[in-house]
A and B are shown apart, each in its own frame.
Chain A
Amino acid sequence: MKLFPNLILSGTLLAVALGAPIQPAQADPARDAIIAQLKAQAGVSSFSAARGKKFFHAKHAGGKPETPSCTTCHTNDPRNFGKTRVGKVIDPMAVSRNPQRFTDPKKVAKWFRRNCKTVLGRECTAQEKGDILTYLSSI
C-alpha cells in the first residue's frame, strides 16, 4: 500500500518549516532500483554527479524560451524550494532535503518526459537521467 504523494510532500514541507534536522542523503531501495534500471538502459556501470550538475544548471536550446533550464523552476540551488511559472511552490529536489524524491518510478518517468520536452524540446537519454539523479542524490 502506498501513501499519497501529497501527504508525503506536505509532511516534508512541515518538517522543513519546523526546522527539523536535515538528514544526510539516504539510500532508498526504490531510488536505487530506478538508478539501476537507468544504468542497464544506458549500458554503463556508473553515473557522474558532476555531469548531472552541469546538465541541470546549463541553459539549453531547443525547448520553450520561457524555460531554458531546469533551474528556471527548481532554482540554482536544488536544496531550496522552487516555483512553477504559475507561482506554485515546488519542494526541494535535493534528496538530502526531501528523502521522498525519486522513489516512485512512474512519477520520475512522467516528469523527466515532460520537463526534458519543455526545456530541451526532446526526451532526455538514460545517461542524462542517471547523471541528474546521481547529482541530486549527492547534495
Chain B
Amino acid sequence: MRRHIITTILSLAAAGAMTMQPTQAASKSPGTMFAEECSACHMAFDPGFLPKRSWRAIMGNLSNHFGEDASLDDQTRNAIERYLLSNAADANGRNPYWLRRIPASQIPMRITELPWFTNEHGARARAWAKSNPKIGSISNCQGCHRGAARGVFDDD
C-alpha cells in the first residue's frame, strides 16, 4: 500500500517537473505559475498529495494561509487553482486508497495531517522537526528528504 502511494505521487511529480522548466516569460503556463508562486515560502507541494476539495479550500483563503498572507492577483490565483484541480489526488477519476479512508465531508487542509502521513511520521519525527532549527517544521519536507522537490522520499 505504501508503494502504491509513493508511485502515484512520484508519477505526478515527474509530470509536474516538466511544467517547471523555465519557459520564456510573457504567457506563463499555470504549472509554471504554481511552481513559482507556491515555492516562495516552502517547496511547492505536489498537487497529488491532496484532493480537489482541499485545494479549493486552500486557494479560496490565501489571505489567511496557515497564519500568513499568501494572496495573489485573481488571474494568477485562478490559473493555479485550475492546475491544482487537474492534478489533484482525485483528478481524472482517480481515487487512491489513502483518500478513500477520509470521509467526503472532511476537507483535509494539510498533507501533514493525512492518515498515511501521520503513520509514516510519528510524534518523534514531529518533535525532531520542531526542535531542530535547520528543519523548523514537519511541513519542511526538504529538511529531511533531500529529494523532496523531485518527489523522492524513500531516501533512508
Which residues of chain A have a CB within 8 Å of any CB of chain B? 1-2, 4-7, 64, 66-67, 83-88, 110, 113-115, 117-118
Is A113 a contact partner of B71 (Cβ separation < 8 A)?
yes
Chain B residues with Cβ below 8 Å from A5 are 36
Is B41 a contact partner of A88 (Cβ separation < 8 A)?
yes
Is A84 a contact partner of B22 (Cβ separation < 8 A)?
no
Q: B68 at the A/B interface (Cβ < 8 Å)?
A: yes
Q: B156 at the A/B interface (Cβ < 8 Å)?
A: no
Is A87 a contact partner of B70 (Cβ separation < 8 A)?
no
Is A64 a contact partner of B68 (Cβ separation < 8 A)?
yes
Q: B143 at the A/B interface (Cβ < 8 Å)?
A: yes
Total A-B residue contacts, Cβ distance less than 8 Å: 57
Which residues of chain B have a CB within 8 Å of any CB of chain A? 22, 24-25, 36, 40-43, 63, 67-73, 134-137, 139-140, 142-143
The complex places the Cα of A88 from the Cα of B67 at a distance, in Å, of: 16
Is B22 a contact partner of A6 (Cβ separation < 8 A)?
yes
Chain B residues with Cβ below 8 Å from A110 are 72-73
The complex places the Cα of A50 from the Cα of B155 at a distance, in Å, of: 49
Q: Would you give the shortest CB distance from A92 to chain B, in whole angstroms? A: 16
Is A66 a contact partner of B140 (Cβ separation < 8 A)?
no
Can you list 25 contacts pairing A with B, beta carbon distance less than 8 Å?
A1-B25, A4-B22, A6-B36, A7-B22, A67-B68, A84-B42, A85-B68, A85-B136, A86-B41, A86-B136, A86-B137, A87-B42, A87-B134, A87-B135, A87-B140, A88-B41, A88-B140, A113-B69, A113-B71, A114-B68, A114-B70, A117-B63, A117-B71, A118-B68, A118-B69
Is B22 a contact partner of A114 (Cβ separation < 8 A)?
no
- Chain B residue with Cβ nearest A115: B69
Chain A residues with Cβ below 8 Å from B63 are 117
Known pairs A88-B140, A114-B68, A115-B69. 16 more at Cβ < 8 A? Answer: A1-B24, A4-B22, A64-B67, A64-B68, A85-B68, A86-B41, A86-B139, A87-B137, A87-B143, A88-B41, A114-B69, A114-B70, A114-B71, A117-B63, A117-B69, A117-B71
The 5 closest A-B pairs by CB, nearest first: A86-B42, A87-B136, A87-B140, A117-B69, A114-B69
Q: Would you give the shortest CB distance from B124 to chain A, in whole angstroms? A: 18
Chain B residues with Cβ below 8 Å from A118 are 67-69
The complex places the Cα of A2 from the Cα of B36 at a distance, in Å, of: 15
- Chain B residue with Cβ nearest A5: B36
